[in-house]
Amino acid sequence: MDISSILQGGYQHPLSRSWQGRRQLTKSMFMYPIFITDDPNASVIIPTLPGQRRWGVNKLEEFLTPLVQKGLKSVILFGVPLNCEKDERGTPADDQNGPVILAIKKLRSLFPSLYIACDVCLCEYTSHGHCGVLFADGTIDTEPSVDRIADVAVSYAVAGAHCVAPSDMMDGRIKAIKRKLIDEGYGNKCTLMSYSAKFASSLYGPFRDAAGSAPSFGDRKCYQLPPSAKGLARRAIQRDTAEGADIIMVKPAMPYLDIIADAAQLAPDHPLACYQVSGEFAMVHAGAAAGVYELKTMAFESVESMVRAGATLILSYFTPDFLDWLEA
Ligand SMILES: [Zn+2]
């Protein structure tokens, strides 16, 4: 056999196998998505998302203390208002007594070293369940949408969020949020993580159960990207980079590894996040339950594929598991 044929000598030992990654998986690469509801004492199981719950503000201490002790470094908060008056423009999104703003303040005081990101969108708070403000005919009215979304983002920054992460996919919102953060004195105090390439995926089902955010009519295909849209995704990544995003995100992750790799090449100087979404997480669990593979092995394979593609930050419901599985 030719010398050039032999590769296995290079990875015959567990340690030399660990050196094959360009980047090692670490606990600090994981950001844990958390659902915060407006019943302060809630601890409600989400049946479609194994092991995950909707939490009330009063339960965050007992829920997160053991995770922080195990090395949890960051969370991303999703508001799940169940008792508020929703309207056309998502007024409850930045209610000072709403679950997200209360949770930011609570977490900042409980866990000074925990990095707190907040998802920013209107769909959990609008009467129609869409991510922006609508014209009478049901189409997106872009300017008031980005204005409103920027206001919500600034409210979260003022409350103490280290990072705001708009998931709405409205055109121009990154520039609008960055501008408003700067104008309000938070330009150097709050990171802007853009859901840049967010696809209209079938994998969001369990999240919608968890967050109660299914639209009351139509779908989100006019603002989320078509699954086939490689070129559009590349344009969105470049646009958001130019508009002032500090972190670029691709969502979902596993069916879009090529887009993660593209983003790593298009925005090589930005941290690159990907979201292992609810349906991906549920799929890994379902396959393990069906005996297709072992859960931990597949969970590792899934996130290692994302790191291999170029991700430096992974939003995942597996975060608590990886705090147990990883040494550092
Ligand atoms: Zn939304």
Which pLDDT tens digit goes with each residue over 80-115? 999 999 999 999 999 999 999 999 999 999 999 999
Active site positions, annotated: 198, 251
Q: Is residue 3 predicted with pLDDT exceeding 90?
A: no
Quote the Cα angle for 32-257-17, to 5°.
80
DSSP letter string over 181-218? HHHTT-TTT-EEEEEEEEB--GGGHHHHHHHT---SSS
Asked, for residue 8, whether it belongs to a domain, the answer is: no
- Averaged pLDDT for residues 47-62: 96
Please tell me the distance between residue 223's alpha carbon and the centre of ligand 1 in angstroms.
10
Asked if residue 84 belongs to a known ligand binding site, the reply is no
Asked, for residue 253, whether it belongs to a domain, the answer is: yes
Say what the pLDDT of residue 20 is.
81
Say what the pLDDT of residue 317 is.
98
Asked if residue 125 belongs to a known ligand binding site, the reply is no
Asked if residue 220 belongs to a known ligand binding site, the reply is yes
Q: Is residue 14 predicted with pLDDT exceeding 90?
A: no
Please tell me the distance between residue 168's alpha carbon and the centre of ligand 1 in angstroms.
5
Say what the pLDDT of residue 24 is.
87
Asked, for residue 14, whether it belongs to a domain, the answer is: no
191-198 and 247-251: which strand pairing?
parallel
Asked, for residue 43, whether it belongs to a domain, the answer is: yes
Asked, for residue 59, whether it belongs to a domain, the answer is: yes
Asked if residue 121 belongs to a known ligand binding site, the reply is yes
pTM score of the predicted model: 0.95
Please tell me the distance between residue 60's alpha carbon and the centre of ligand 1 in angstroms.
24
Q: Look at the chain and report how many structural domains it folds into.
A: 1
Please tell me the distance between residue 235's alpha carbon and the centre of ligand 1 in angstroms.
21
* Cα distance from N-terminal residue to C-terminal residue, the chain: 40
53-55 and 43-45: which strand pairing?
antiparallel
Question: Checking phi first, is residue 78 left (phi over 0); if not, alpha (psi -120 to 50) or beta?
Answer: beta
- Reported as a single tens digit per residue, the pLDDT across 294-304 is 999 999 999 99
Asked, for residue 123, whether it belongs to a domain, the answer is: yes
H or E segment at 32? strand 30-37
Say what the pLDDT of residue 268 is.
95
Asked, for residue 122, whether it belongs to a domain, the answer is: yes
- Averaged pLDDT for residues 9-13: 87
Say what the pLDDT of residue 320 is.
98
CATH, residue 258: 3.20.20.70
Exposed e or buried b for every residue in 103-117, given b needs 16+ CB within 10 A? bbbbbeeebeebbbb
- Averaged pLDDT for residues 190-210: 93
Please tell me the distance between residue 97's alpha carbon and the centre of ligand 1 in angstroms.
21
Please tell me the distance between residue 192's alpha carbon and the centre of ligand 1 in angstroms.
17
Percent of the chain beyond pLDDT 70? 100
Place of tokens 């991510």: 131
Say what the pLDDT of residue 294 is.
98
Asked, for residue 3, whether it belongs to a domain, the answer is: no
**Polymer length in residues for the chain:** 328
Say what the pLDDT of residue 171 is.
96
Say what the pLDDT of residue 206 is.
87
Asked if residue 163 belongs to a known ligand binding site, the reply is no
Asked if residue 239 belongs to a known ligand binding site, the reply is no
Q: Rounded mean pLDDT of the chain?
A: 95
Q: In which domain, by residue range, is 49 found?
A: 25-325
Say what the pLDDT of residue 13 is.
87
Q: Which residues neighbour 250 within 8 Å (Cβ) at sequence distance 6 or greater?
A: 196, 197, 198, 233, 256, 259, 260, 263, 272, 273, 274, 275, 311
Q: Using an 8 Å Cβ cutoff, are 238 and 266 in contact?
A: yes
